[in-house]
Chain A
């Protein structure tokens, strides 16, 4: 018997056949790819939004620094609010590695009003802080408008308002008069929000001198802010309680505001998890839809399969053709979905004023996932196509 060569189908022809199958019914292909596209878009957007948010966070941190520590009095063993000694700031400055330190003291029982005619119950929840002059430099606060306290203003009833206070009192211009503790103060400055010291946003800040003169401020700070070199943050943190209050170090709380900021950004993970779950459900449903479409296609194309078998196609060639078609189908959805996810991320980042950050690896992963889905969804239909009897072309 003469040797007959084996049936062969070139790889590029497999691709062409798979693509031709899709092109012959474009609407059906698009509709069944939509499910995949939605799933992939949701996943890419979730990852993109969270990575943009992380990038924004990293940008903020690099701007604000992670070397700020806050010291506040805790509670005494008997449960009362502890106090920090007046020399706390000076002591902190002596710790090796500390670059600068500052403090504020909350002045209790003082209310702030727009003017003397406001209902006294309407306090707006505004606190009053006696601030030392280094406060802005240490906390990274910035003035939206006006001036910070200096030697010239320290002796006068002048106030710098936190961003929230200015908004609540509807004050936009410096020179406005407000009432603090029944006394008239002039607004000399308004702060931008201070991310690492959000307690300043809701406070009116007055100088220590005027606090002492008008409200009997005794010099006990309630919060000490401290910046050190990045390498010495941990060491400084160990030393702070005993330095600030050698008599009762256990009554001192030390916190790192940048950690709180990280927690704020991390808090969105539940939402991201939910979206990720929805995305995977959409992918699953999309995959089932593709499998369904492919099975219908196989049933409709029995004659074509029979013809190909008559032309010399092996079962493996038929299987490859339909598997390729399924993978191309999901790939259309995957690429569309990845682009959609990319667009959603870009819009979301732009609207929030964030940096746009999305690793190209995410897109590669998305496309890889769709290839896997297509292969799984196309497996049964393609096996079924390969089982079609070769006589199908003649018997119809």
Chain B
């Protein structure tokens, strides 16, 4: 089976003079995995997430996402990949004030050209999956932090993406809400979604089946590799 994500010697430089955010990263993530990418701030986690999510292109190396070489795709093709195959969850939720949860979730299908009625029907399903069926008409300010993040997760999975990328999904939550969100991610993974979670919290990472540790833009450790083959 082809991997969902395959990075071969991926580097990403920023600015002048170039600062290397990712340095010769090699890794593969298969369908159905639940992976934590862990490392201190500045270790290149966010850049890695951007590359995996096709929001950014490598400066050098090859990134193959969902079977396609990112370098060979146009901006429109990358947009389509994000619309249909990739879901994002952000640390700051990115919910729009004054918009009911169901409409926020339905926006996850906005760029697939799905008709509004169908979007809302599937949004209701997704809210049900994250346990917020009773909060559909609630606006962000009426929801707790954990509930908001679950709305954001519902938006990310409403289109049944192959890959769910989560950037510090529990970073702004207390431990109880954080645990609930973690449990939700575990459940979604069990239902078949490939999930990559970025976190600086080793405690959270330890609860996931596979951990990839980043340091200064390089892969320091990957529990999927045999102890002998730590690159």
Which chain A residues (280-323) contact chain B, with CB distance < 8 Å? 303-304, 306-317
Contact of B56 among A12, A303, A391 (CB under 8 A): A391
- Is the CB–CB distance between A312 and B80 below 8 Å? yes
Q: Tell whether, in the assembled complex, residue A310 and residue B82 are in contact, meaning their CB atoms are under 8 Å apart.
A: yes
Task: Give every chain B residue within 8 A of A9 (Cβ-Cβ).
Answer: 110-111, 113
Q: A317-B111, A394-B50, A394-B90 are in contact. Are A311 and B83 (CB under 8 A)?
A: yes
Report whether B79 and A314 are in contact in the complex, using a CB–CB cutoff of 8 Å: yes
A1 at interface by CB-CB < 8 Å: yes
Separation in Å of the A178 CB from the closest CB of chain B?
80
Query: How far does the alpha carbon of A390 sit from the alpha carbon of B46 in the complex, in Å?
Result: 13
Asked if B75 is an interface residue, CB under 8 A from chain A, the answer is: yes
Complex: A396 Cα to B92 Cα, angstroms: 9
Contact A2 B82 (CB under 8 A): no
Report the minimum CB–CB distance from B1 to chain A (whole Å): 13
- Across the interface, which residues of B come within 8 angstroms of A314, CB to CB? 75-76, 79-80, 111
Name the interface residues of A1-30: CB closer than 8 Å to any CB of B: 1-2, 4-10, 12-13, 24
Among A24, A307, A395, the residue within 8 A (CB) of B46 is A395
Residues of A within 8 A of B49 (CB): 394
Q: CB of A393 within 8 A of chain B?
A: yes
Q: Given A4-B84, A5-B80, is A311 in contact with B53 using a C-beta cutoff of 8 Å?
A: no
CB distance from B114 to the nearest CB of A (A): 8
Distance between Cα atoms of A68 and B110 in the complex (Å)? 72
Task: State whether A394 and B167 are in contact (beta carbons under 8 Å apart), knowing that A6-B80, A7-B76, A315-B75 are contacts in the complex.
Answer: yes
Residues of B within 8 A of A6 (CB): 76, 80
Are A312 and B111 in contact (CB-based, < 8 A)? yes
Count B-side interface residues using an 8 Å CB cutoff: 35
Contacts of A313 in B (CB 8 A): 79, 83, 110-111
A6-B76, A310-B88 known; A390-B81 Cβ under 8 A: no
Residues of B within 8 A of A24 (CB): 98
Q: Does B77 contact A (CB under 8 A)?
A: yes
Interface residues of B in 176-193 (CB under 8 A from A): none
B31 within 8 Å of A (CB atoms): no
- A44 CB, nearest partner CB in chain B, Å: 35
Instruction: Report A12 CB to chain B, min CB distance, Å.
Output: 8
Question: Given the complex of chains A and B, what is the CA–CA distance between A310 and B113 in angstroms?
Answer: 15
Say yes or no: A394 contacts B80, CB within 8 Å. Answer: no
Within 8 A of B (CB), among A338-396: 389-391, 393-396
Docked pose: A255 CA to B206 CA in angstroms: 105
Closest A residue to B159 by beta carbon equals A312
Residues facing A in B149-203 (CB within 8 A) are: 155, 167
Complex CA distance for A303 and B95, rounded to whole angstroms:
11
Minimum CB–CB distance for B143 against chain A, Å: 18
User: A308–B90 Cα gap in the complex (Å)?
Assistant: 13
**Given the complex of chains A and B, what is the CA–CA distance between A327 and B77 in angstroms?**
28
The answer to whether B79 touches A7 (Cβ under 8 A) is yes
The reply to whether the CB of B139 lies closer than 8 angstroms to some CB of chain A is: no
Task: Name the B residues within 8 Å of A4 (CB-CB).
Answer: 66, 68, 77, 80-81, 84-85
What sequence of 0s and 1s flags, for each residue 34-71 of chain B, a beta carbon within 8 Å of any chain A beta carbon? Answer: 00000000000010011001011000000000111000
- B107 beta carbon closer than 8 Å to chain A: yes
Q: Scoring B residues 109 to 135 as 1 if CB is less than 8 Å from chain A, else 0, what string do you get?
A: 011110110000000000000000000
Q: Roughly how many angstroms separate A84 CA and B176 CA in the complex, as a whole number?
A: 113
CA gap between A312 and B159 in the complex, in Å: 11
Asked if A310 contacts B67 (CB within 8 A), the reply is no
Bound: A389/B55 CA distance, A: 8
A186 CB to nearest chain B CB (Å): 83
B137 at the interface (CB under 8 A from A): no
- Tell me, yes or no, whether B231 is within 8 Å of chain A by CB: no
Q: Which residue of A lies closest to B67 (CB)?
A: A1
- Residue picked from B81, B113, B115, most chain A C-beta under 10 Å: B113
The answer, yes or no, to whether B28 is at the interface (CB within 8 Å) is: no
Q: Which of the residues B55, B80, B107 comes within 8 Å of A7, measured between beta carbons?
A: B80
Report B-chain residues with C-beta under 8 Å of the C-beta of A310: 53, 55, 82, 88
Chain B contacts for A389, CB-based, 8 A: 55-56
Taken together as a complex, chains A and B put the C-alpha atoms of A393 and B66 apart, in Å, by 22
Provide the residues of chain A in CB contact with B146, threshold 8 Å.
none
5 intermolecular pairs with C-beta atoms under 8 Å apart: A4-B68, A5-B80, A307-B94, A317-B79, A394-B46
Given contacts A314-B76, A393-B88, 10 further A-B contacts (CB under 8 A): A4-B66, A4-B80, A5-B80, A13-B116, A308-B110, A310-B88, A311-B108, A311-B111, A313-B79, A317-B79
Q: Which 4 A-B pairs have the closest CB atoms?
A: A312-B83, A8-B113, A312-B111, A390-B55
Q: Which residues of A contact B (CB under 8 A)?
A: 1-2, 4-10, 12-13, 24, 303-304, 306-317, 389-391, 393-396
